[in-house]
Structure 1
Amino acid sequence: MKRKQKRYDDMFRHPEIREILASEDFQRLGLYTHHGRVTRKDHCLAVAGMVYAMARRRRLDYISATRAALLHDFFFYNWRTEGPRLHGLRHPALAFENARTRFTLNSIEEDAIVRHMWPLTPRPPRYAESYLVCMADKAVALGDYSRFLRIPRRRRAALGVINYH
């Protein structure tokens, strides 16, 4: 079994994580493109997988860290064409409000969701788990875009996708 698949299977065994993964609202994130051609759901799953492994290895609260990673971009609009101006600054609060109304969050999860865009947002994360979510989000986003940028320009144009060069 591939390591990544094993990690996702292992994550799904925890009822606190499974609650989010099995929710209809989390599944809806698959309808929105996030970075390049990656869906928001796939982006959040990749961040969660990375955070789960790093937090367990460091003996941190990996359940809270993983839940926060799954919910860090928990908003339901296409950020390129809809939603608030200055999306990068405002979406953490929107994701937090959406998550808070659907799930019970602890202080680590709240902090990680609200502060995952640091240093773009002014307040740094308070917990080690929050830093992991913040850094994993950036690493996964970079990977999302680098895969996207390997698609030839003509094909991106045919797909009607913005060129980032």
Structure 2
Amino acid sequence: MDITVSEDIDSEFLEVVRDILEDREFKKLNCFRQHLKTTRFMHSLNVSYISWCLARRFRCDARAAARAGLLHDFFLYDFRDKQPTRELQAFYHPKVAAYNSTNHFNISEKEANAILSHMFPLGPLPTSKEAWLITCADKICATMELFQLHIALAKPGRVKISAA
């Protein structure tokens, strides 16, 4: 699967997340629906980009915000299927995403904590500015995607994903 990103997307952002975007396992997120017509891949990319923009604006750790935003939903199962635990999806998937991200990408503690808390108030209280930004960006993106409004990188033609 190849990913082509339009030239008008900030190259600095792409440099921060390129290794994740090019990862074979991460690309599998494109096979899962997230909010109606959005894939989990595109949702994660939207959250990442908005988190990165906000972090730069508020002089936070933009790298951590972009990477944790991209990995916040890094779980490779359909959330509508029965889970191996009795936990609700809202509580379960951040743990799986943090576990997968830590093992697959060797993320920082700040990034792992941001992933674990991104479902606040349904999960733990975010403990860093970057975690708060990801939590907010996730809510913004989910709302926009549910209403099928194009935001950030989801604008038609900005990102193309094809099988390779």
TM-score range, shorter chain: 0.7 to 0.9
Instruction: Choose between structure 1 and 2: higher helix proportion.
Output: 1
Aligned mates of 1:30, 1:56 — CA distance in 2: 27
Give the secondary structure class of the aligned counterpart of 1:35. coil
Q: Whose RCO is larger (CA < 8 A, sep 6+)?
A: 2
Note if 1:60 corresponds to 2:60.
yes
The one-letter code matched in structure 2 to 1:34 is Q
1:50–1:107 CA distance, 2 compared to 1 (3 A): same
TM-score by length of 1: 0.80
Equivalenced residues, count: 142
Q: Unaligned regions of 5+ residues in structure 1, if any?
A: 149-165
Instruction: State the Cα RMSD in Å.
Output: 1.7
1:8–1:82 CA distance, 2 compared to 1 (3 A): farther
Aligned to 2:71: 71
Aligned to 1:133: 134
Q: Is the 8 A contact 1:7 1:53 kept in 2?
A: no
Q: Unaligned regions of 5+ residues in structure 2, if any?
A: 1-5, 150-164
Note if 1:10 corresponds to 2:12.
yes
Aligned mates of 1:6, 1:56 — CA distance in 2: 18
The one-letter code matched in structure 1 to 2:38 is V
Shift of 1:103: 0.9
Shift of 1:25: 1.2
Shift of 1:105: 1.2
Identity of aligned residues (%): 34
1:128–1:65 CA distance, 2 compared to 1 (3 A): same
Aligned mates of 1:33, 1:8 — CA distance in 2: 26
Note if 1:110 corresponds to 2:109.
no
Whose Rg is larger? 1
Give the secondary structure class of the aligned counterpart of 1:126. coil
Aligned mates of 1:131, 1:5 — CA distance in 2: 29
The one-letter code matched in structure 2 to 1:129 is E
Shift of 1:8: 4.8
1:8–1:38 CA distance, 2 compared to 1 (3 A): farther
Give the secondary structure class of the aligned counterpart of 2:34. strand
TM-score by length of 2: 0.81
